[in-house]
Amino acid sequence: MVDRREQIDEFESMFRRSEREPFVFADLPIRSVAVVTGDESNESVQAALKRFLPRIGDVVDWRAIGSDDYSSVAELLERIGSDPVDLLVTRRHLQEEFLSPQHSLGVYLDELTQRTLVPVLVLPGTAGTPVPLPTEPCRRVMVVADHISGDHRLINYGVRMCSEGGSVWLCHIEDDDVFRRYVSAIERIPEIATEPAEELLSSQLLKEAGDFIESCFQTLKETGPDVVLESEVGMGHHLTEYRRLIDEHTIGLLVANTKDDGQMAMHGMAYSLSVELTDVPMLLL
């Protein structure tokens, strides 16, 4: 009969860290920006952006897309597709000022994040009640993910947006509700001892993220821009933990992935953060 230690060794082997390609730094180009903010003055938004994100201040190709330039999502997408840019800037609830939806991003922002490959910078507030960007340069950027390992593009954009000498936080929070479901399933497998298996799984999940972030730090210190690198790896409720970290570290910009290879809709964590954290500027990839 197989003893308990052999059973645990077999279980542990299922979650051993696989070899991943090392993080590669890329100084992502941002040469053209389209501001899509409805009736709001695009000139004032452009000036505020240059103050808030000094590293895009040298962009010479600024394009304004006003509410008279499109009347549907299809028209807006066609306009953007025919004249591509490196960055889109917009607000929640575009052209929905009189509807004031409370639990959505609005149809335009939702479609822009899912049907284009262009990063979307979401200004704080909504189109109906815009919140001005801070007047000081953004010096604290937080990159968030529930699976940060291997996500080079996400990290490179986070670094790209931070002011010189600022801080970039690479954060990975494992969803504790999902983890509890894993453990609940393990509890129903008599061949596996639950307590050591739970400890092994928890430590391995967090170790993978921590190891990848450490490799990012090593590469960025050698080849990246002049920024201070920080990290946070843990387990908890995504929205609660990220709200705490944003407040605790006075974060100026949140960077997150919105696309999920397994579905057409926005990634669940990114959607929750985008809907709830309306006071924080966000870069959605």
**What CATH number did the domain enclosing 165 receive?**
3.40.50.620
| Domain annotation covers residue 14 | no
Q: Does one domain contain both 142 and 283?
A: yes
**Residue for token pair 């695009």:** 42
Q: pLDDT of 129-181, one tens digit each? A: 899 999 999 999 999 987 787 889 999 999 999 999 999 999 999 888 888 88
- Among 252, 242, 262, 247, which residue's Cα sits nearest to residue 283? 252
18 falls in which pLDDT band (50, 70, 90)? Answer: very low
67 falls in which pLDDT band (50, 70, 90)? Answer: confident
Task: Give phi and psi for 271, each to the nearest 5.
Answer: -65, -45
Give the pLDDT of residue 226.
94
2 falls in which pLDDT band (50, 70, 90)? Answer: very low
Question: Which domain does 166 fall in, by range?
Answer: 138-285
- Among 249, 219, 230, 238, which residue's Cα sits nearest to residue 277? 238
Look at residue 93 and tell me whether its pLDDT is greater than 60: yes
Q: Does one domain contain both 128 and 142?
A: no
Mean pLDDT for all residues in the chain? 86
Give the pLDDT of residue 35.
95
Look at residue 19 and tell me whether its pLDDT is greater than 70: no
4 falls in which pLDDT band (50, 70, 90)? Answer: low
How many whole angstroms separate alpha carbon 52 and alpha carbon 46? 10
Higher pLDDT, 216 or 39: 216
Q: Does one domain contain both 156 and 268?
A: yes
| Domain annotation covers residue 260 | yes
Q: Does one domain contain both 119 and 147?
A: no
Domain count, the chain: 2
Give the side-chain half-sphere CA count within 13 A for 80.
Answer: 29
Do 256 and 282 contact (CB within 8 A), yes or no? yes
| Domain annotation covers residue 198 | yes
Q: Does one domain contain both 125 and 194?
A: no
Q: pLDDT of 21-35, one tens digit each? A: 689 999 999 999 999
Q: Of 75, 97, 132, which residue is a domain's last?
A: 132
| Domain annotation covers residue 150 | yes
| Domain annotation covers residue 101 | yes
Q: Does one domain contain both 189 and 114?
A: no
Look at residue 236 and tell me whether its pLDDT is greater than 50: yes
